[in-house]
Amino acid sequence: MAYANKYPQKDLPVIATRNTVLFPGQVQAFHIGRSPSVKALAQSQKGEGWVLVIAQKNQDSTREWGAGDLYRVGTLGKVEGLHGDPKRGYRAVIRGVLRIQVEEFRDEDGLVLARGTEADDKRDMDETTSRVLMQNLKEIAGEILVLLQTDAEALKRLLAGIEDPIALAHLAAQYLDVAVEKKQEILELLSLKHRYLLLLELMAERLKALQVQNKINERLSKKLNRQQKEHLLREQIRAAQEELGEGSEGSVFDEYREKIAGAKMPEDVEKIARDQLKRLESLGTASPESHVVRNYLDLLVAMPWAEASESDIDLDRARRELDGDHYGLDKIKQRIVQHLAVMKLKKDKRGSILLFVGPPGVGKTSLGKSIAKALGRKFVRASLGGVRDEAEIRGQRGE
């Protein structure tokens, strides 16, 4: 296809594109609003509509461009449709015809003109290689179309009907979602074999990225669906409870949720508390078991997880407190002081228990109060009279 026979002009008006590259044989719509491109479009309409479409190097630049901003290889195009005006800009439909290697740019009062020669494709593949590479490209393109959730079957049939390797390569390159720099690299490759190898490499990378993205989307979708289902079920439970006259339960659960959040529990304890709250929500407050779970939650949220009394163990003061509060009981007081001495030496000793056994009135409670005073801690008394289930002390048994 001779370059000279394709258009009558020696100099072509240049239209610069951002974020896209026009390939021969492809039709694309462009929004044209920058002054040099508008002037090129006007110049093309004076003749037969020929323009040279070239991508600019800096894709982020929206300023008025010049010849120095452009690549040296572009596509000869024919303007087949034009709508708009100079104020709002134009929408031009341009069909790519052939590849042009620019030899010279010239600026005429803001209109950029270019002169160059046709850059012919080198068909450097035998029939077998061409067939294999084309088949691989069609298969990968089909997989990409499926992941993009487009009308895969119609586009697969379109790809299957293309027998010309050059046309197929240009079609794939036009719609492949890669950086403009890579598309320009494909356009500039004259070797058809090298063009196919680069296309297959880029398409394989794109396919892998889409597969990863698809897996992530599936996981997010499952998670969202589960959350939506749980929300719907909770709303249904709440509506049913309101019908049964138990509409106040929602506020009870919300109250527990706020208490758990504000209790400053350790992470593992908070997880148990939230699990028990979920169990309580599923049981409902009318269930006979709910009072056991509520007692356990009340205990958890009442515990002073973030509060601790500071104490300095003074053995002399401890002896004075014990002697001042109790007459006799020398062995017991000596054992208490020994225990306090161990606590003072072993500073990380925690959870120690002293057990006093005896009938009522012998001083068990008053000894406890004296120990608390000696340590500078608060004394808390819990009466266990009438307790028959150790779960009321230790907490709810695990399911």
Rounded to whole angstroms, the Cα distance separating 354 from 352 reads 7
Residue 171 neighbours by CB under 8 Å, 6+ apart: 23, 25, 26, 159, 162
Q: Which residues contact 74 (CB under 8 A, 6 or more apart)?
A: 14, 22, 52, 53, 54, 55, 99, 100, 102, 114
Burial of 136 (C-beta count, 10 Å sphere; 0-12/13-18/19+): middle
Show Cβ contacts of residue 5 under 8 Å, excluding neighbours closer than 6 positions: none
Give the per-residue pLDDT at 399.
42
Angle formed by the axes of helices 290-302 and 249-262, nearest 10°? 30
CA distance to 124, 125, 271, per residue, from 278 (Å): 69, 67, 11
**Where are the domain boundaries for CATH 1.20.58.1480 in the chain?**
121-246
What's the confidence (pLDDT) of residue 58? Answer: 85
Q: Which CATH superfamily is domain 12-118 in?
A: LON domain-like (2.30.130.40)
CATH superfamily of the domain spanning 315-375: P-loop containing nucleotide triphosphate hydrolases (3.40.50.300)
State the Cα–Cα distance between residues 211 and 261, nearest whole angstrom. 39
Q: Alpha-carbon distance 291 to 170, whole Å?
A: 73
Across 148-179, b (16+ Cβ under 10 Å) vs e yields eeeebeebbeebeebeebeebbbbbbbebeee
Q: What would the pLDDT profile of 62-82 be if each residue is shown by its tens digit? A: 778 888 899 999 999 999 999
Q: How high is the mean pLDDT in each 10-residue block of the chain (399 residues)?
A: 51 92 94 92 90 89 84 94 87 94 91 92 91 92 82 76 92 91 95 95 93 84 71 68 56 80 84 85 70 84 73 71 72 77 69 75 76 72 70 56
From the candidate CATH numbers 1.20.58.1480, 2.70.70.10, 3.30.465.10, 1.10.3720.10, the one assigned to the domain spanning 121-246: 1.20.58.1480
Residues 6 or more apart whose Cβ sits within 8 Å of residue 334: none
pLDDT of the residue at 347? 65
Pairing of strands 12-17, 50-55: parallel
The predicted-structure confidence for 86-99, as pLDDT tens digits, reads as follows 788 899 999 999 99
CA distance 96 to 75: 6
Mark out the alpha helices in the chain (DSSP H runs).
35-46, 127-147, 152-160, 165-175, 180-188, 192-243, 249-262, 267-283, 290-302, 315-325, 330-345, 364-375, 391-394
Q: Quick one: tokens of 200? A: 């297959």
Give CATH 3.40.50.300 domain extents, the chain. Answer: 315-375
Cβ within 8 Å of residue 315, ≥6 positions away = 337, 340, 341, 344
CB 75 within 8 A of CB 52: yes
- CATH 2.30.130.40 location in the chain: 12-118
Residue 115 is inside which H or E element, if any?
strand 111-118
Q: Are 273 and 265 in contact (CB under 8 A)?
A: yes
Pairing of strands 27-32, 50-55: unpaired
- Tokens at 274, concatenated: 């939230």
- For residue 157, the Cα-to-chain-centroid distance in whole angstroms is 35
Q: Does the predicted TM-score (pTM) go above 0.85? A: no
Please name the amino acid found at residue 242: E
At residue 302, what is the residue type? Answer: A
**Regarding beta strands 89-108 and 111-118, do their DSSP bridges make them parallel or antiparallel, or are they unpaired?**
antiparallel
Residue in the structure block whose two tokens are 């087949």: 80
Look at the block and give the residue holding tokens 């341009």.
94
Q: What is the pLDDT of residue 130?
A: 92
Axis crossing angle, helix 127-147 with helix 192-243, rounded to the nearest 10: 20
